[in-house]
């Protein structure tokens, strides 16, 4: 019996997407220009003598225009990630892969690289002929020039990305002087390579095999989800014909089998085969088909945004349980995050007990507890704070400063000793309060506990920090 050989992986065939014009193509180009513009421009925007958007990891501060976020605000980052996930689910349930087709970085940078390729190597057919041609000086310079432009774009992309974490003006200066920090150099090289490979070489392979979203998107689809579909009832039977031939007399549908919808597809699928996970929802096939229908003087919409129910002649519902739940949960989280950001505390106080001993006995028999007070000023201006202790009838306070100076974005640390008479008994809760001297609304408080060797009661002592 003859041996049967079978490949484990399908050999990749390079896809040459044809350039297409139309409403959705213009929307996609506008999205690419807008997103790339924001990405490359934002790091150079200054705000109050600093970079407007800067994620300063060494200083543990995230600057977003007028807001400064600290590690204590990590819950806000978690909430933003939840909002991003729910938004993706909501829009996918409503209108399919809008993110993939118009906003995904892989799509945006691939569109840019494809545009460069067309400008250098020509149209789809010219690119195919160039790849099939034998070695020549023309082929060498076109390929070299294209890849050089790709590498330059990748390098600028990487420098900009690192500029979100390192002040980009200083980063650019260190690059020009060839005195860049090794870690910055590593990440610039890494993201240059990643951008060049993903957008220039892998392209649709990232969407088909590397991105997990392509695999689980179907779980969010239902019969009322707006998707790009081919109207089989109108298009079949397909076949070529002259514009002078009446398709009804010839027994043909509206599809002339020109394969334009396949030629413009960046993932190389045939939308006429039905909904496929490879479809990224870019709508290039809609523009291509509408152009052919216009030339044939047929109604547009043979390929269009529609729903499975509409294709079956049923009524589609925009508001349904899945979209309503996503919208409700998303709205609640947005309101909660907005409220949390608007009511953030601009000062934080942390109380740390002496870890060496729970308590100590003075020579006169009194009980002392020692605390370290740390005040974090989250504002971009220095402030003076006052320390207040409530309900200290049974305590004496030692080393309590009359006023505490904390520089902008700095931490002030000092020691406070609480002393109780020998007759005092109980383990009591206490609260420390710190407030700004010039603005009592800027305040914070933190709980602690006074421990003695006798009994157990509850008591609060408060520090408010502002």
Instruction: Return the SS3 of 386.
Output: strand
The whole-number average pLDDT for the span 7-35 is 87
The whole-number average pLDDT for the span 252-264 is 94
Mention every residue, 6+ apart, whose C-beta is less than 8 A from residue 423: none
**pLDDT tens-digit readout, 137-181:** 999 999 999 999 999 999 999 999 999 999 998 898 898 888 888
Statement: the pTM of the whole predicted model exceeds 0.85: no
pLDDT value for 458? 37
The DSSP 8-state label assigned to residue 298 in this structure reads P
**pLDDT tens-digit readout, 281-296:** 999 999 999 999 999 9
Token pair belonging to 302: 């043979």
The pLDDT of residue 416 is above 80? yes
**pLDDT tens-digit readout, 297-311:** 999 999 999 998 898
Phi, psi (deg, nearest 5) at residue 369: -120, 140
pLDDT value for 394? 54
Instruction: Return the SS3 of 202.
Output: helix
Q: Go through the domains of the chain in sequence order and give each one's CATH number.
A: 14-344 (no CATH), 347-450 (2.60.40.10)
Mention every residue, 6+ apart, whose C-beta is less than 8 A from residue 346: 377, 378, 379, 442, 466
Segment of 45-49, 301-305, 322-326 carrying the highest mean pLDDT: 301-305
**pLDDT tens-digit readout, 64-82:** 888 888 887 888 888 888 9
**pLDDT tens-digit readout, 205-223:** 998 888 888 777 777 888 8
For 374, the enclosing helix (H) or strand (E) is strand 367-377
Mean pLDDT of the chain: 86
Rounded to an integer, what is the distance from CA 196 to the centroid of its chain?
20
Alpha-carbon span 95 to 228, nearest angstrom: 9
The whole-number average pLDDT for the span 172-198 is 92
For 419, the enclosing helix (H) or strand (E) is strand 411-420
**pLDDT tens-digit readout, 358-382:** 888 877 777 888 888 888 888 878 8
The pLDDT of residue 45 is above 90? yes
The whole-number average pLDDT for the span 8-12 is 65
Mention every residue, 6+ apart, whose C-beta is less than 8 A from residue 252: 237, 238, 239, 241
Q: Calculate the alpha carbon distances from 149 to 111, 152, 155, 158, 196 in Å.
A: 14, 5, 10, 14, 10
Mention every residue, 6+ apart, whose C-beta is less than 8 A from residue 200: 113, 147, 150, 154
The pLDDT of residue 334 is above 80? yes
> Which stretches of 204-251 are assigned E, i.e. beta strand?
227-230
pLDDT tier, 318 (very low <50, low <70, confident <90, very high otherwise): confident
**Residues in a beta bridge with 398:** 417
pLDDT value for 401? 62
């Amino acid at each position: 019996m003859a041996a049967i050989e079978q490949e484990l992986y399908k050999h990749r065939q390079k896809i040459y997407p044809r350039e297409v014009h139309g409403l959705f193509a213009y929307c996609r180009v506008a999205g690419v220009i807008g997103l790339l513009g924001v990405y490359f421009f934002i790091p150079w925007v200054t705000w109050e003598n600093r970079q407007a958007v800067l994620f300063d990891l060494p200083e543990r501060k995230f600057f977003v225009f007028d807001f400064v976020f600290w590690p204590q605000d990590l819950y806000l980052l978690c909430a933003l990630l939840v909002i991003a996930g729910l938004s993706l689910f909501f829009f996918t349930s409503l209108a399919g892969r809008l993110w993939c087709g118009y906003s995904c970085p892989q799509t945006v940078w691939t569109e840019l690289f494809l545009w460069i390729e067309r400008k250098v190597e020509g149209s789809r057919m010219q690119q195919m002929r160039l790849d099939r041609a034998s070695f020549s000086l023309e082929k060498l310079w076109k390929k070299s020039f294209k890849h050089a432009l790709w590498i330059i774009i990748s390098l600028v992309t990487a420098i900009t990305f690192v500029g979100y974490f390192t002040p980009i003006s200083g980063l650019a200066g260190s690059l020009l002087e060839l005195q860049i920090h090794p870690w910055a150099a590593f990440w610039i090289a890494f993201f240059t390579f990643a951008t060049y490979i993903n957008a220039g070489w892998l392209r649709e392979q990232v969407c088909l095999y590397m991105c997990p979203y392509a695999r689980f998107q179907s779980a969010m689809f239902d019969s009322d989800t707006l998707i790009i579909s081919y109207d089989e009832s109108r298009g079949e039977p397909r076949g070529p014909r002259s514009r002078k031939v009446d398709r009804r007399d010839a027994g043909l549908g509206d599809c002339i089998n020109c394969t334009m919808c396949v030629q413009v597809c960046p993932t190389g699928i045939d939308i006429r085969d039905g909904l496929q996970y490879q479809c990224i929802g870019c709508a290039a096939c809609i523009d291509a088909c509408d152009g052919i229908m216009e030339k044939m003087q047929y109604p547009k919409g043979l390929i269009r945004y529609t729903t499975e129910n509409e294709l079956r002649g049923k009524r589609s519902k925009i508001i349904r349980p899945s979209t309503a739940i996503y919208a409700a949960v998303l709205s609640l989280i947005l309101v909660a995050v907005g409220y949390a950001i608007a009511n953030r505390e601009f000062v934080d106080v942390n109380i740390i007990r002496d870890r060496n001993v729970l308590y100590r006995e003075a020579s006169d028999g009194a009980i002392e507890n020692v605390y370290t007070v740390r005040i974090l000023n989250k504002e971009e201006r220095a402030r003076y704070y006052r320390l207040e202790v409530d309900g200290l009838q049974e305590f004496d306070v030692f080393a309590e400063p009359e006023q505490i100076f904390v520089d902008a974005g700095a931490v002030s640390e000092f020691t406070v000793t609480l002393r109780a008479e020998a007759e005092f008994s109980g383990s009591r809760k206490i609260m420390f309060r710190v407030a700004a001297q010039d603005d009592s609304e800027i305040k914070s408080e933190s709980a602690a506990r006074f421990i003695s060797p006798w009994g157990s009661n509850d008591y609060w002592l408060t520090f408010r920090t502002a």
